[in-house]
Amino acid sequence: MADGAAAADAVLGKGSTVGRGGMASKIGAARLAAAAGIPSVIASGSGREVLGPIVAGESRGTRFAAADVDGNNAFKLWLRYAKPAVGRLVVDEGAQTALLVHGRSLLAVGVVRCEGSFAAGDAVELEAPDGNVFAKGLTSVGADEIRGRPRGVEVVHRDRLALYDTGSGSGESGRVIAPSDADETSAAYFASTPDV
């Protein structure tokens, strides 16, 4: 895996019968740590001399580079990684631009489709007209009120919104550095190898 887009788009199998989430859980935890500015590595624990070489900087496993902490406070990290979304709002281009470029809040008039049933305070994903999910936010109003697209109603306040790094088109950020897809210590290897 060369970068975070590869990890986000990787097809991961189910976790083992004795596990609690498999590779998807490991990648999610590594992304959360990286977003908080903590470098992480997913590597095989089998064999001797695993941890020492990793700490020394050797190319083993899949490395998740620490992000430059850019003001993502604990609330936004919690919203992005821990709070499950119970609905989805598809927004028009004007609303997407207002959110991404101008740092505005989302108004109901910019929502073209509301999916799911949710109340004020629930988390929803925001989807662009092209189908890419670009943010998650806590709603100020419920789904029924949003569906009417009333003017002047704030759906998600800017302070209750976590934007995704969509430069890769994956909907998730987090750069991953792996020695190679075939390296037996990397996340790509584990994701493609059935549990034995």
Looking at the structure, do residues 91 and 154 belong to the same domain, yes or no? Answer: yes
The C-alpha angle 74, 129, 97, rounded to 5 degrees, equals: 60
The predicted pLDDT at position 139 comes to 97
Looking at the structure, do residues 159 and 185 belong to the same domain, yes or no? Answer: no
Looking at the structure, do residues 82 and 143 belong to the same domain, yes or no? Answer: yes
Q: Enter the pTM of the model.
A: 0.63
Task: List alpha helices for the chain, DSSP H.
Answer: 4-9, 22-35, 51-55, 74-81, 93-100, 143-147, 187-192
Looking at the structure, do residues 26 and 60 belong to the same domain, yes or no? Answer: yes
The predicted pLDDT at position 36 comes to 78
Looking at the structure, do residues 17 and 83 belong to the same domain, yes or no? Answer: no
Query: At 150, which CATH number?
Result: 2.30.130.10
Looking at the structure, do residues 148 and 106 belong to the same domain, yes or no? Answer: yes
Q: Does residue 169 fall inside a structural domain?
A: no
138 vs 37 pLDDT, higher one: 138
Task: List alpha helices for 63-186, DSSP H.
Answer: 74-81, 93-100, 143-147
Q: How far apart are CA 172 and CA 92, in angstroms?
A: 21
94-140 pLDDT, tens digit each:
999 999 999 999 999 999 999 999 999 999 999 999 999 999 999 99
What is the residue range of 18's domain?
4-67+174-192
Q: pLDDT category, 11, cuts 50, 70, 90?
A: low
Looking at the structure, do residues 85 and 131 belong to the same domain, yes or no? Answer: yes
Q: Does residue 168 fall inside a structural domain?
A: no
Looking at the structure, do residues 9 and 41 belong to the same domain, yes or no? Answer: yes
Looking at the structure, do residues 79 and 63 belong to the same domain, yes or no? Answer: no
**Is 44 in contact with 190 (CB distance < 8 Å)?**
yes
The predicted pLDDT at position 25 comes to 79
Looking at the structure, do residues 49 and 29 belong to the same domain, yes or no? Answer: yes
Strand-pair category, 133-138 with 85-91: unpaired
Looking at the structure, do residues 42 and 115 belong to the same domain, yes or no? Answer: no
The predicted pLDDT at position 102 comes to 94
Q: Is 22 helix (H, G, I), strand (E, B) or coil?
A: helix
174-193 pLDDT, tens digit each:
444 444 343 455 444 444 44
135-172 pLDDT, tens digit each:
999 999 999 999 888 888 999 999 999 998 755 433 44
Residue 152 to residues 8, 91, 96, 128, 173, Cα–Cα distance (Å) = 36, 15, 17, 21, 32
Provide the number of structural domains found in the chain: 2
Crossing angle of the two packed helices 22-35 and 74-81, in degrees rounded to 10:
160
The predicted pLDDT at position 6 comes to 55
